[in-house]
Structure 1
């Protein structure tokens, strides 16, 4: 889940996880990066980096708009404005770069509870020729992906057309991020829905990164001839591609280590058999790991030569340098404890800024009167 305070977290470690615990504790003051690839309390200090360093402008983020109801999915329209999915209300807002907002519509059938609700949102890459917006959301019975026709001129959403249902849902671990890849297929990140063993079952939709067509069929060259693209995930909430079309995913660990993974089709990322690196040849090690108190990673975006990761419990924006060969440099932390819980980060269409959303109206947050907010962060 997205992390309750430490005294309420469960400790159901697997055998391999316990074996890793001692080593992880020795490195408790810092984040870990691995050459091959390398979870939340309040008010912690940065691990391996410091605020205001790296490619980000040292100035503070500027509010674009405030008063959102847990903004989750954000994606851009051709004119530079964005559609913002609000988890708890199921309302999709349109947000212009000058901060003007309007209500495009409400997604019917959404059932909010715990970490569920209206989650990811992706605009069709051929919009407006293909006038669709795709949404990932929780219902009373499952998680599902729907496409919704969007009238750009009228700023109005139509009725959802379900293209994939039956994704297991629970109070926590719903995943929820959806993104179009450079191959034109739609990727959906799912959680284990509190059933860890389902992550290792390639016939289950839980604990996976899924890959599908815009009409909801499995992509034709998926590794298991079904929806599963990768498996062994606990709760993925961030997806991003670099210029070489490498896919990076952020993932919540349980109590030991959060992860950034380089995703390869058909690979097994270990959950629940292993948390973090060291599971052996059967499992793919993460590129980066962090302790939960300094991360709880959700959204991810790439700008320039860096991967940016929005962190919830860690209350910071991580910057992970990309070396261009599938390896990474030392992560740096920005805005530590300045903005609260950070949910989503996306790169603005002109590449000159990041858009960053807070998630302070979560049960674990401490919202200001005008939270939640979407901000612009200038890039050098």
Structure 2
């Protein structure tokens, strides 16, 4: 009888612990106890989450909606719906970034797919009086498809806009310098081509990408995450003018044909790869003090694996030292991530039904 009581007590404690984790009180599959709070629900295919200068979370939904979420109350306020967005498969309204000098120039950049012939475009809106107006096309006629559209945006310290593009289901275009597909592109904030790009007159900053969906700047480096085929999802350090191998190289240069191609084309190998794949998506660098164990780490969300992964970097930021997982299967497919100035982390789910914005603190 005593053994039975002890066993029942242990079972009760185990169930209670699971319920506590699910409620968002704490999550600790890695080695850091974190707290989660669902800020907003009832969303659909959240694609981007950006912490804005107004201390609001700016989000996109794939159907064409741009909204703000109040991180204190969770209230969702609609800003704008882009009527010409065509949401097809993985396509639709995707990435977004805000001008760092927002007070002087309140520009909001978005990338979306549209039209019967299905193309992608980058558009700059101006924010005023709670709405987005004055659309300016920065780049048009980006090949798009129901899969592999890339579409993460980032503005660098030297005031350049980076745009990731997928191969749009035409793998060979990733190696074609005359195609916008399978690249990381770099343009000025008005869409013109910078004079210091690798090839004069070309928007291409790097090539050989399959479906890059994460970008982050830190340590003087540009970090990128991208989807592999059935193997070799990647995190890369992006270097000016370099080749990242796709479709001739999957992950590391470790097969004979890959070694030959890598040597001939100056290919950069990933700093981390996953087989089986996890469907790597949004990426951010954690520099906050709120969760000190995460400092100098890349935080990566994934779709298929439905988790948040901490990639602890070495002192130079060149290598991944350790990898730890959090929120495994708690919120389904995770697409977007950002950090606030006070060190809180915000993620967006992308299940298509009752998607959420989740706050992570400690």
Fold agreement, TM-score > 0.5: yes
CA distance, structure 1, for counterparts of residue 303 and residue 248 of structure 2: 25
Give the alignment partner of residue 166 of structure 1, picking from 111, 136, 141. 141
CA distance, structure 2, for counterparts of residue 87 and residue 60 of structure 1: 28
> Over residues 273-325 of structure 1, what are the superposed CA-to-partner deviations in whole Å (9 max), with x where a residue is unaligned?
010101333321110001244x2011000102100111000111111011132
> Shift of the alpha carbon at 1:331?
1.3
- Checking the alignment, whether the CA contact within 8 Å between 2:210 and 2:228 is kept in structure 1 is yes
Secondary structure in 2 matching 1:222: coil
CA distance, structure 2, for counterparts of residue 51 and residue 258 of structure 1: 25
- Checking the alignment, whether the CA contact within 8 Å between 1:198 and 1:206 is kept in structure 2 is yes
What residue number does 1:32 align with?
A: none
What residue number does 2:285 align with?
A: 302
- Checking the alignment, whether the CA contact within 8 Å between 2:313 and 2:322 is kept in structure 1 is no
- Greater fraction of residues in strand: 2
CA shift in 2, pair 1:188/1:292, >3 Å: farther
- Checking the alignment, whether the CA contact within 8 Å between 2:36 and 2:360 is kept in structure 1 is yes
- Checking the alignment, whether the CA contact within 8 Å between 1:202 and 1:224 is kept in structure 2 is no
Deviates more, 1:307-316 or 1:331-340: 331-340
- Checking the alignment, whether the CA contact within 8 Å between 1:319 and 1:333 is kept in structure 2 is yes
Give the alignment partner of residue 65 of structure 2, picking from 80, 87, 91. 91
Residues 194-213 of structure 1: matches in 2 within 5 Å?
A: 194-213=169-188
CA distance, structure 2, for counterparts of residue 333 and residue 252 of structure 1: 18
What residue number does 1:291 align with?
A: 275
What residue number does 1:146 align with?
A: 123
What residue number does 2:327 align with?
A: 335
Runs of 4 or more consecutive aligned structure 1 residues displaced over 6 Å after TM superposition: none
TM-score normalized by structure 1?
0.80
What residue number does 2:359 align with?
A: 376
What residue number does 1:317 align with?
A: 308
- Checking the alignment, whether the CA contact within 8 Å between 2:48 and 2:337 is kept in structure 1 is no
CA distance, structure 2, for counterparts of residue 65 and residue 245 of structure 1: 34
Rg comparison, structure with higher value: 2
What residue number does 2:8 align with?
A: none
| 1:66 and 2:66 matched | no
TM-score normalized by structure 2?
0.84
Secondary structure in 1 matching 2:174: helix
CA distance, structure 2, for counterparts of residue 324 and residue 264 of structure 1: 19
CA distance, structure 2, for counterparts of residue 51 and residue 118 of structure 1: 34
CA distance, structure 2, for counterparts of residue 121 and residue 83 of structure 1: 9
Unaligned runs of 5+ in 2: 1-26, 287-294
| 1:275 and 2:250 matched | yes
> Shift of the alpha carbon at 1:107?
1.8
> Over residues 88-117 of structure 1, what are the superposed CA-to-partner deviations in whole Å (9 max), with x where a residue is unaligned?
2x1111111111221111123211100000
Secondary structure in 2 matching 1:199: helix
- Checking the alignment, whether the CA contact within 8 Å between 1:232 and 1:268 is kept in structure 2 is yes
CA distance, structure 1, for counterparts of residue 52 and residue 209 of structure 2: 31
CA distance, structure 2, for counterparts of residue 191 and residue 360 of structure 1: 21
> Shift of the alpha carbon at 1:256?
1.3
Q: How many pairs are equivalent? A: 314
Secondary structure in 2 matching 1:61: strand
Backbone CA RMSD of aligned residues: 1.5
CA distance, structure 2, for counterparts of residue 179 and residue 51 of structure 1: 31
Give the alignment partner of residue 213 of structure 2, picking from 234, 237, 243. 237
> Shift of the alpha carbon at 1:60?
4.0
The structure with higher relative contact order (CA 8 Å, sep 6+) is 1
> Shift of the alpha carbon at 1:76?
2.5
